[in-house]
């Protein structure tokens, strides 16, 4: 790691030699030690996106191309106009590195950070969703420890702040064993005026800068530079770089901030997250075209003797910076006094375009504001990994076991089984908006009180598919998550993503990122889905174990449902109805749970995505919804459609009599038919009386719809029409396996 020296002080920095030269050239002097620290943080991958920015340019400009997008990438959160004078803000972020070292506080402060991002947009946070990834739990105390405390960290923080956790995703895979992934997403709701009052910029000189919330301590110094490295044996020693969360203070910050915004005197707003004050002040002024002068002595610190380096780089949690009109200062301070929140006027903006920080009479920071907020990028090399050809050519072994045994094993597997153990620990109802609660649908559905609108949101991706084909796999992730909201009746409105990848300095890892971004960009452009924000987490590698995570571009979609009557749910409703499979099933077992669980193999041919077909399926479904023809809907993903059907049976204990003989001409083997994870498919329940109407429509939309069975009273799933065998599955046994896997691993 390079060292820099100033006035006899020495500092290890994560900067490259080239960056060090560039900084000296621009300033025409040696920076102070505090300034070096600020550059180190601001130019870290985590803050500057120096590797990823050139690729992220592939995403089309959401603000320019979609009239309902109010804020796009580059802001603290994406914001869309959902009508009725409401704006919806949402964002997803990673907190992987801290959680891998200290799962409880790592996850908790991840929630804390994402809440602040939403709050910055002037919106009340109304929902959390958490996509999580760990190593397999079975016989793995380390994975169990991470899993248990990540869930507890999320629960304790989210529950206390009164924000319901309405959804999430969990995947268990060996590649996440030492690098668990903790992604956190938040949705906020506000009026259009609230949003307009809260830019994350300081546009006006002579405004006051107020710091409000928690005190500034020595915790979390250099958290972002820690997140911009791979994990090593030294990482345990980085534990002090993990911040400590305080959800009580956060709850008060939420209320105090929202009340302060209502005064109309706030002109800018920024949370202190990664990079602390350095980041917040330079972004506020640098992006706003102003400068500022800050008195370090005014900043309330947690312990005596902190120097300017520590104060500027501290990532202590629960802090917000406000830019306040001079005439409104007293009124805003009164709000903070009511909530008994610590606060201080730490400086004022000016028109110098220079950020100055004084420690007493000493000028300790004197930098052009945009020197920090507009860092250079680094072009990275990319190379397709050599091992891929071997993986893609792997063939599925001959079936070793009976198909029914395989299905029982799949439904009990960690990735497919019920996640109730997790969501029971989350308050998913506080706020009284949760209409479809955890486990009741493919997405979480919230009402917007006072309107007839409903918000549907889901998160996730398929890292196994992405590992084999990042371009199609990333598209497939969007298809699946859009499928979740569509299954509940919502039109996908916008997307954010959280790209979790390996070390960008390694060409193979960067290739995965590059292909994934290309896939997402192509898909969203074709399907007219704006990408309104995102987060990139690189360096998810463990140098000691020599493992890289599977590429994980997590997708978050928000959709809107107009009218309660248009909400569709997952469980079968009645007996004697048709069970229809929508979309093509192909021989695409590569990266399937079937391969992974039954044969412990990762290769094969993964699913491809054809946007044109997907588009037709979605249009077809909305036509069916319009005509009120769908009684229940569930999208097909992990484990294939047989798992989808079992999940639809569980809630009302309704069975299904399936006949798959109509697949005869597709030439699929039995396991391909049952377990392929071909994208864009749905299982719907419809009335027999509507069959002809539905088939006419399927021909009009030129999509594949097959009647594969009928719902029945008997709590069994009968399967016939396969090539090799007929068999019957017992719902009670399936449900028992589905429900008990995680409790058995975690509570016994």
Burial classification of residue 608, based on how many CB atoms lie within 10 Å of its CB (0-12 exposed, 13-18 middle, 19 or more buried): middle
- 447 vs 160, 194, 487, CA distance in Å? 21, 19, 17
User: Pick from 134, 426, 510, 618: which binds other proteins (CB under 8 A)?
Assistant: 426
- Residue 92 DSSP label: E
Q: How far is the CB of 321 from other proteins (least distance, A)?
A: 22
User: Pick from 248, 351, 363, 725: which binds other proteins (CB under 8 A)?
Assistant: 248
Rama region for 340: left / alpha / beta (φ>0; ψ in -120 to 50; rest): left
Strands 655-659 and 716-720: parallel
Q: How far is the CB of 552 from other proteins (least distance, A)?
A: 28
86 binds other proteins (CB under 8 A): no
Burial pattern 144-160, b for ≥16 Cβ within 10 A else e, equals bebbbbbbebbbbbbbb
- Cα 111 from Cα 114, distance rounded (Å): 5
Q: Which C-beta is closer to other proteins: that of 17 or that of 340? A: 340
User: Pick from 21, 61, 429, 696: which binds other proteins (CB under 8 A)?
Assistant: 429
- What is the per-residue binding string for other proteins in 299-338, x denoting contact by CB under 8 A? ---------------------------------------x
Q: How far is the CB of 715 from other proteins (least distance, A)?
A: 18
Q: How far is the CB of 152 from other proteins (least distance, A)?
A: 8
SS3 402: coil
Q: Is the dihedral of CA 170, 176, 182, 187 positive or negative?
A: negative
Q: How far is the CB of 53 from other proteins (least distance, A)?
A: 38
160 binds other proteins (CB under 8 A): yes
Q: How far is the CB of 144 from other proteins (least distance, A)?
A: 15
Q: How far is the CB of 450 from other proteins (least distance, A)?
A: 9
What DSSP string runs through 310-363? HHHH---SSEEEEEE-GGGHHHHHHHHHHTT--EEEEEEEESSSEEEEEETTEE
Structure tokens given for 42: 């601001």
Beta-ladder partners of 536: 499
Are the C-beta atoms of 466 and 553 separated by less than 8 Å?
yes
Return phi, psi of residue 83, to 5°: 90, 175
Q: Which C-beta is closer to other proteins: that of 427 or that of 584? A: 427
Q: Which C-beta is closer to other proteins: that of 247 or that of 483? A: 247
- Residue 18 DSSP label: H
95 in catalytic set: yes
339 binds other proteins (CB under 8 A): yes
Q: How far is the CB of 62 from other proteins (least distance, A)?
A: 31
350 binds other proteins (CB under 8 A): no
Among 663, 714, 62, 107, residue whose Cα is nearest residue 422: 107
Return phi, psi of residue 605, to 5°: -90, 115
Q: How far is the CB of 331 from other proteins (least distance, A)?
A: 17
- Cα 447 from Cα 435, distance rounded (Å): 6
- Cα 448 from Cα 87, distance rounded (Å): 11
Q: How far is the CB of 337 from other proteins (least distance, A)?
A: 12
- Give the list of residues 6+ apart from residue 449 with CB closer than 8 angstroms, or none: 432, 433
Q: Which C-beta is closer to other proteins: that of 423 or that of 738? A: 423
Q: Give the CA count within 13 Å in the CB-facing half-sphere of 493.
A: 25
565 binds other proteins (CB under 8 A): no
713 binds other proteins (CB under 8 A): no
Size of the site for other proteins (CB under 8 A): 33
- What is the per-residue binding string for other proteins in 34-53, x denoting contact by CB under 8 A? --------------------
Question: Which is catalytic among the residues 46, 222, 428, 634?
Answer: 46
- Residue 411 DSSP label: H
Burial classification of residue 678, based on how many CB atoms lie within 10 Å of its CB (0-12 exposed, 13-18 middle, 19 or more buried): buried
159 binds other proteins (CB under 8 A): yes
161 binds other proteins (CB under 8 A): yes
Name the strand (E) or helix (H) holding 515: helix 507-527
Scanning 470-555, the segments in alpha helix (DSSP H) are: 470-487, 507-527
Scanning 76-201, the segments in alpha helix (DSSP H) are: 96-101, 103-119, 141-161, 192-196
Q: Distance between the two ends of the chain, CA-based, in angstroms?
A: 45
Name the strand (E) or helix (H) holding 6: strand 3-6
- What is the per-residue binding string for other proteins in 520-559, x denoting contact by CB under 8 A? ----------------------------------------
Question: Which is catalytic among the residues 95, 222, 265, 465?
Answer: 95
Q: Which C-beta is closer to other proteins: that of 239 or that of 337? A: 337
- Cα 370 from Cα 46, distance rounded (Å): 17
Chain residues 277-296 in contact with other proteins, contact rule CB under 8 A = none
- Number of helices (H), then strands (E), belonging to the chain: the values are 27, 30
Within 44-95, strands assigned E span 69-71, 78-83, 86-94
Structure tokens given for 624: 């069916």
SS3 137: coil
Q: Which C-beta is closer to other proteins: that of 162 or that of 507? A: 162
Q: Which C-beta is closer to other proteins: that of 422 or that of 479? A: 422
Q: How far is the CB of 451 from other proteins (least distance, A)?
A: 13
- Longest pairwise C-alpha distance within the chain: 85
Listed ranges 115-123, 249-257, 320-328, 615-623: which one lies at the site for other proteins (CB under 8 A) = 249-257
Chain residues 128-157 in contact with other proteins, contact rule CB under 8 A = 155-156
Chain residues 439-498 in contact with other proteins, contact rule CB under 8 A = 440, 447, 449
511 binds other proteins (CB under 8 A): no
434 binds other proteins (CB under 8 A): yes
171 binds other proteins (CB under 8 A): no
Q: Which C-beta is closer to other proteins: that of 152 or that of 525? A: 152
Q: Which C-beta is closer to other proteins: that of 33 or that of 253? A: 253
Listed ranges 132-140, 217-225, 433-441, 701-709: which one lies at the site for other proteins (CB under 8 A) = 433-441
Q: Which C-beta is closer to other proteins: that of 174 or that of 437? A: 437
632 binds other proteins (CB under 8 A): no
252 binds other proteins (CB under 8 A): yes
Q: How far is the CB of 125 from other proteins (least distance, A)?
A: 11
428 binds other proteins (CB under 8 A): yes
Burial pattern 562-600, b for ≥16 Cβ within 10 A else e, equals eeeebbbbbbbeeeebbbbbbbbbbbbbbbbbbbbbbbe
Q: Which C-beta is closer to other proteins: that of 363 or that of 432? A: 432
Are the C-beta atoms of 27 and 367 separated by less than 8 Å?
yes
Listed ranges 72-80, 281-289, 421-429, 518-526: which one lies at the site for other proteins (CB under 8 A) = 421-429
431 binds other proteins (CB under 8 A): yes
Q: How far is the CB of 247 from other proteins (least distance, A)?
A: 7
Listed ranges 271-279, 423-431, 660-668, 719-727: which one lies at the site for other proteins (CB under 8 A) = 423-431
Rg of the chain, C-alpha, whole Å: 26
Chain residues 729-748 in contact with other proteins, contact rule CB under 8 A = 747
Beta-ladder partners of 655: 712
Listed ranges 46-54, 96-104, 244-252, 285-293: which one lies at the site for other proteins (CB under 8 A) = 244-252
Q: Which C-beta is closer to other proteins: that of 249 or that of 547? A: 249
- Give the interface with other proteins as residue ranges (CB under 8 A): 155-156, 159-162, 246-249, 251-252, 338-340, 423-432, 434-435, 437, 440, 447, 449, 564, 747
Q: Which residues are catalytic?
A: 46, 95
């Amino acid at each position: 790691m390079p060292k820099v020296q100033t006035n006899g002080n020495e500092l290890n920095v994560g900067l490259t030699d080239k960056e060090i030269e560039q900084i000296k050239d621009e300033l025409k002097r040696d920076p102070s030690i505090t300034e070096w620290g600020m550059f180190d943080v601001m130019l870290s991958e985590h803050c500057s996106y120096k590797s990823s920015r050139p690729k992220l340019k592939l995403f089309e400009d959401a603000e320019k191309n979609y009239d309902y997008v109010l804020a796009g990438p580059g802001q603290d959160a994406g914001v869309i106009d959902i009508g009725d004078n409401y704006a919806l803000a949402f964002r997803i972020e990673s907190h992987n590195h801290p959680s891998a070292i200290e799962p409880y506080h790592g996850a908790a402060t991840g929630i804390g950070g994402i809440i602040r991002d939403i709050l910055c947009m002037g919106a009340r946070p109304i929902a959390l969703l958490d996509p999580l990834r760990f190593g397999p739990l079975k016989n793995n105390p380390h994975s169990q420890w991470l899993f248990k405390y990540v869930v507890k960290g999320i629960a304790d923080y989210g529950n206390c702040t009164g924000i319901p956790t309405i959804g999430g995703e969990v995947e268990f895979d060996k590649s996440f064993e030492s690098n668990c992934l903790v992604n956190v997403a938040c949705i906020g709701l506000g009026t259009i005026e609230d949003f307009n009052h809260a830019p994350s910029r300081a546009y006006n000189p002579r405004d006051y800068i107020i710091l409000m919330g928690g005190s500034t301590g020595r915790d979390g110094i250099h958290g972002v530079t820690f997140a911009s490295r791979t994990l090593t044996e030294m990482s345990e020693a980085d534990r002090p770089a993990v911040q400590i969360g305080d959800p009580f203070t956060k709850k008060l910050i939420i209320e105090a901030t929202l009340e302060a915004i209502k005064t109309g005197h706030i002109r800018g707003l920024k949370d202190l997250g990664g990079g602390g004050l350095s980041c917040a002040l330079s972004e506020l002024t640098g992006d706003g075209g102003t400068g500022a002068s800050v008195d370090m002595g005014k900043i309330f610190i947690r312990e005596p003797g902190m120097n300017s380096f520590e104060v500027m780089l501290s990532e202590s949690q629960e802090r917000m910076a406000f830019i306040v009109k001079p005439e409104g200062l007293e009124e805003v301070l009164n709000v903070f006094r009511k909530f008994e929140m610590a606060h201080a006027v730490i400086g004022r903006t000016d028109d110098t375009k220079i950020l100055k920080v004084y420690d007493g009479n000493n000028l300790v920071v004197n930098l052009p504001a945009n020197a920090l907020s507009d860092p250079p990028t680094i072009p990275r090399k990319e190379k397709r990994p050599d091992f891929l050809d071997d993986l893609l050519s792997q063939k599925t072994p001959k079936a070793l076991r009976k198909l029914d045994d395989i299905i029982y094993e799949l439904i009990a597997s960690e990735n497919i089984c019920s996640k109730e153990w997790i969501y029971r620990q989350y308050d998913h109802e506080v706020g009284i908006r949760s209409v479809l609660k955890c486990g009741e649908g493919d997405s979480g559905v919230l009402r917007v009180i006072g309107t007839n609108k409903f918000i549907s949101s889901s998160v996730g991706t398929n890292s196994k598919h992405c590992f084999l084909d990042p371009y199609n796999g990333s598209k497939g992730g969007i298809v699946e998550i859009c499928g979740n909201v569509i299954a509940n009746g919502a039109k996908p409105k916008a997307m954010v993503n959280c790209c979790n990848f390996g070390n960008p300095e390694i060409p193979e890892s960067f290739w995965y990122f590059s292909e994934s971004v290309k896939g997402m960009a192509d898909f969203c452009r074709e399907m007219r889905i704006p990408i309104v924000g995102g987060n990139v987490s690189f360096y998810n590698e463990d140098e000691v174990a020599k493992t890289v995570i599977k590429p994980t571009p997590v997708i978050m979609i928000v959709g809107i449902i107009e009218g309660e009557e248009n909400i569709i749910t997952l469980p079968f409703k009645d007996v004697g109805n048709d069970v229809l499979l929508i979309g093509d099933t192909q021989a695409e077992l590569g990266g399937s749970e079937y391969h992974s669980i039954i044969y412990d193999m990762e290769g094969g041919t993964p699913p491809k995505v054809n946007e044109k077909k997907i588009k037709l399926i979605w249009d077809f479904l909305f036509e069916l919804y319009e005509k009120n023809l769908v009684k229940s809907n569930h999208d097909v993903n992990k484990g294939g459609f047989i798992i989808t059907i079992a999940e639809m049976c569980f809630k009302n204990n309704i069975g299904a009599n399936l006949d798959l003989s109509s697949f005869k001409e597709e030439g699929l083997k039995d396991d391909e038919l049952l377990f392929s994870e071909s994208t864009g498919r749905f299982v719907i329940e419809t009335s027999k009386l509507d069959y002809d109407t539905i088939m006419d429509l399927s021909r009009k939309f030129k999509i594949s719809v097959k009647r594969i069975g009928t719902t029945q009273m008997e709590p069994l799933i009968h399967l016939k029409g396969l090539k090799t065998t007929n068999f019957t599955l017992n719902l009670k046994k399936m449900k028992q396996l589905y429900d008990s896997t995680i409790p058995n691993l975690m509570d016994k």
